[in-house]
Amino acid sequence: MENLPQVMQPIYEGKAKRLWETEDSDTLRMEFKNDATAFNGEKKASFESKGRLNNSISTLIYRYLETVGVPTHFVKQLDDTNVIVKRVDILMVEVIVRNVSAGSFCKRTGVEEGKAFSQPIIEFSYKSDELGDPLINDDYIREMQLATPEDLVHLRESALKVNEILSGLFAEVGLKLVDFKLEFGRLKSDSSVIVLADEISPDGCRLWDLKTGEKMDKDRFRRDLGNVMEAYEEVLGRLKERLGGE
């Protein structure tokens, strides 16, 4: 790892990460925090290793995605809790991919948890903590001018490609990718280019052990199942064994 670049000023703080300016106007430093939240911030806690684990997991995944042709904002890892990322304008449309019924899908539909879908379900939500990230559709997105129809085609195709890649990767390490959330952004250096942004970690993915069905993600925190960081550590260990890494 290398020394942190000179810090200019913080520009954003969310529930799980901070963004800092750097000397390079085209990049930011993204810091992973130890804070954990659930239910739109109603439940909160802090875990000593959470920032380190999510940083390591997301770094492994983003490096892998880059090698298989998925453009991301990732540049390099700096230390246990910091990475350098390309500066992007985040699209206010979050993309949720569902392979198996779980979470809010079950609450909305009454479908029992664990039903495998015949093909992945794509959902869009409006990125707004104040409104609780409500579900929106193509018509909402058009009228709210959140993205163009061409952007939505790109988001769907990219999300399905990432789903196929990660479903295979996680299956190789004995995990089922149940569902996950993705964020995308336009590069500041070239607004015509949309890349995968934010993070991919057990905070934003549901991962079940293929043999035992044990939950290996933030549902352990949401449902008070205990051993939250132990599950994250296990996910990291399996990915390291498959992908390498420190």
Tens digit of pLDDT for each residue in 88-146?
999 999 999 999 999 999 999 999 999 999 999 999 999 998 999 999 999 999 999 99
**11: which residues sit within 8 A by CB, 6+ positions away?**
19, 20, 21, 28
Q: Which pLDDT score, from 0 to 100, does residue 39 have?
A: 83
Q: Minimal CA–CA distance to 230: which of 244, 216, 210?
A: 216
Kindly indicate the confidence band of residue 232, based on its pLDDT and cuts at 50, 70 and 90: very high
Q: Which pLDDT score, from 0 to 100, does residue 90 have?
A: 96
pTM over 0.85: yes
**Percent of the chain as helix, strand, coil, to the nearest 5:** 30, 35, 35
User: Is 70 exceeded by the pLDDT of residue 4?
Assistant: no
The per-residue pLDDT for range 17-76, each reduced to its tens digit, is 999 999 999 999 999 999 999 887 789 999 999 999 999 999 999 999 999 999 999 999
The per-residue pLDDT for range 201-224, each reduced to its tens digit, is 999 999 999 999 999 999 999 999
Map out the domains of the chain with their CATH numbers.
10-87 (3.30.200.20), 89-226 (3.30.470.20)
The per-residue pLDDT for range 134-143, each reduced to its tens digit, is 999 999 999 9
Percent of the chain at pLDDT above 90? 90
C-alpha to C-alpha distances, 87 to 26, 72, 128, 192, nearest whole angstrom? 5, 11, 20, 14
**174: which residues sit within 8 A by CB, 6+ positions away?**
209, 210, 211, 238
Average pLDDT over residues 164-183: 98
Q: Which pLDDT score, from 0 to 100, does residue 1 have?
A: 47
Kindly indicate the confidence band of residue 246, based on its pLDDT and cuts at 50, 70 and 90: low
Q: Which pLDDT score, from 0 to 100, does residue 42 have?
A: 82
How would you class 135 by CB atoms within 10 Å of its CB: exposed for 0-12, middle for 13-18, buried for 19 or more? middle
Give me the chain's average pLDDT, please.
Answer: 94
Q: Helix or strand or coil: residue 36?
A: strand
Q: Minimal CA–CA distance to 38: which of 120, 133, 123, 114?
A: 133
Alpha-carbon gap, residue 5 to 217, rounded angstroms: 32
User: Is 60 exceeded by the pLDDT of residue 8?
Assistant: no
C-alpha to C-alpha distances, 5 to 24, 88, 113, nearest whole angstrom? 9, 19, 45
Alpha-carbon gap, residue 150 to 80, rounded angstroms: 37
Q: Helix or strand or coil: residue 156?
A: helix
Could you write out the three-class secondary structure of 49-99?
Answer: CHHHHHHHHHHHHHHHHHHCCCCECEEEECCCCEEEEECEEECCEEEEEEE
220's enclosing H/E stretch is helix 219-222
Tokens of 108: 């909305």
Tokens of 193: 């280019």
Tokens of 161: 């490609």
User: Is 50 exceeded by the pLDDT of residue 228?
Assistant: yes
